[in-house]
Amino acid sequence: MRFLLLSFLFLSLTAYPQVNIQSLSESSLLRMLKAQKAVSGLVIVKEIATGKEIALAGYTAEKRKNGQQDYLTDTLLFDALIEPGALIMPISAAILMDHFGVTLADTVDLEGGSTVIDGFKVFDSERYSEQNVSLNSVISLSSNVGIAKLTSKYLEFDSNLYLNSLKKYIGTNKSIPPEFKSKSNLAFASFGYGLMLSPSQILKFYERVGKNDSALFNNAHTLIQTKKALLKVTKEGTAQGLMIDSEVDMGIKTATTLALDKNGYKSKQYFASIVGYAPFDNPKYACIVIIKCRPNASQYYGATVAGPVFKEIMNQLSK
C-alpha cells in the first residue's frame, strides 16, 4: 500500500507547482542521514486542509562488504511504533489544561533537574536552577521533571483519563499500552517513555492543532494555550537556535529520545525528532522528521539533527 502511495505522490506533484515536495523531502533527509552517518530516518508531510500525506521519505542504512554505507528506501518506518519522547509533552499538558483547568502560567519546582516519583528517578538532560517554572517553559525546555510532577499531581493514578484523551487526540481506537501498572508508569508516559506510537499518530495531533480542530479539546482555550506553547518552543525553547533565521514562524516540538530495542535502551544512542506545522498564523502543512542516530554520535538533539530537515522543507513549502 505504501509503495502505491509513493507512486501516487510522484504523479500528483503537479498540484503543488511551487516545489517538488517529494523530491525535497528525500534529498533533505538523505543529506542529513549521510552527514550524520545515521541508522535510519523518515519524513512525513501532510496538507492540513485535506489531511492528505503529500510526501513520504524513509531510509535505512545498509553497509556493503567494502564498508561503504548506502541508504535504502524503507517504507516500514512509517508504521513502526516508537517511543515519542518529548513530542508527547504538549499532549500531556493539553490533558491537564483540558480536564483540570491547569494553565500555561501554573508553576512547578524542577528541583534542579531531577526528582523521584514512586521510587523511580526522573531527570532532565540539563540541570535547571529555577525553582518555580511555568508549564509553558516546561514544554519549551522539554523538562521531564516538570511534566512528570504536574501529571502525577493532577492525574495521580488515573491512567484511563490519560489514555482515553490520548486516543481522542491522535484519532485511534488503539490503546498503547492498555493501562499503566503504577504511578511511575504514568509519570514516564507524560514525557514519552512507555508509550509506543507510530509517526503518523504523533503527527495527527499537531495536524489537528494546526487546523484549529474544534473537536480536539473539550475547552476551546486549551487549543489557544497549546498553540502558544508550541510557538514558545521556537522563540525561547529547544528550537530557538534552529528557528532564529527561519523565513516563517512555526508551531514546533522537538525531542531527543533514548533508542529502545528488544534488549532495552541503548546507551548513548538516540532518536532525534521534530514535529509541527507552518506557517504559524495560517497553517498549511504539518510535518514530522525522525532520525535514529548512530551510537555515540556527537550530534543527537532533535533540533540539531532532525530540525534542519524540517526547517528546510517547511520554509520551502511556505513560500
**CA-based max dimension of the chain:** 60
All 3 cell numbers of residue 115?
Answer: 526528582
Residue for grid cell 489537528: 208
- Kindly give the confidence (pLDDT) of every residue in the chain, 319 residues in length, as a single tens digit, with 9 standing for 90 and above: 454 444 444 444 444 445 699 999 999 999 999 999 999 999 999 999 999 999 999 999 998 777 788 999 999 999 999 999 999 999 999 999 999 999 999 999 999 999 999 999 999 988 776 778 999 999 999 999 999 999 999 987 677 899 999 999 998 766 677 788 888 999 999 999 999 999 999 999 999 999 999 999 999 999 999 999 999 999 999 999 999 999 999 999 999 999 988 788 888 999 999 999 999 999 999 999 999 999 999 999 999 999 999 999 999 998 8
Report the alpha-carbon distance of residue 294 to residue 196 in Å, rounded. 21
**Contact status, residue 291 vs residue 300, Cβ threshold 8 Å:** no
Q: Is 76 helix (H, G, I), strand (E, B) or coil?
A: helix
The dihedrals phi and psi of 254, each to the nearest 5 degrees, come to -110, 165
Burial label for 263, CB within 10 Å (0-12, 13-18, 19+), is exposed
Cα angle 69, 70, 76; round to 5: 120
Among residues 237, 254, 281, which one ends one of the domains? 237
How many Å apart are CA 233 and CA 213, to the nearest integer?
21
Pick from 199, 217, 208: nearest CA to 255: 199
Domain with 126 in it: 85-237
Note whether 285 and 212 are same-domain residues.
Answer: no
C-alpha cell of residue 38: 545515521
Are 213 and 313 contained in the same domain?
Answer: no
Task: Tell me the C-alpha distance between 85 and 118, whole Å.
Answer: 20
CB 86 within 8 A of CB 270: no
On whether both 154 and 62 belong to a single domain, the answer is no
* Sequence-ordered list of residues with C-beta below 8 angstroms from that of 131, at least 6 positions apart, any chain: 109, 110, 111
Number of folded domains that form the chain: 2
Single out the residue of 112, 176, 125, 180 nearest to residue 151, CA to CA. Answer: 180
| Omega of the bond leading into 279 within 30 degrees of 0 (cis) | yes
pLDDT of residue 319: 83
User: Residue 270: enclosing H or E segment and its boundaries?
Assistant: strand 264-278
DSSP 17-76: TT--HHHHHHHHHHHHHHHHT-SEEEEEEEETTTTEEEEEEEEEEEE-TTS-EEEEE-GG
Which of the listed residues 237, 263, 295 is the one where a domain comes to its end?
237
Distance (Å, whole) CA 114 – CA 110 = 7
| Same domain as 119, residue 227 | yes
Say yes or no: 61 and 101 in one domain.
Answer: no
Whether 186 and 50 map to the same domain: the answer is: no
* DSSP structure class, residue 85: G
- Residue for grid cell 494555550: 225
* Shared domain check, 114 and 203: yes
Could you tell me which residues come within 8 angstroms of residue 144 by beta carbon, excluding any fewer than 6 positions away? 86, 122, 123, 124, 191
- The pTM of this model reads 0.92
3-state secondary structure of 132: strand
- Domain co-membership, 42 together with 145: no
Instruction: State which amino acid sits at residue 156.
Output: E
Domain end point (choices 237, 259, 288): 237
pLDDT at 250: 98
Of 290, 289, 308, 291, the closest CA to residue 245 belongs to 308
Residues 120 and 200 in one domain: yes
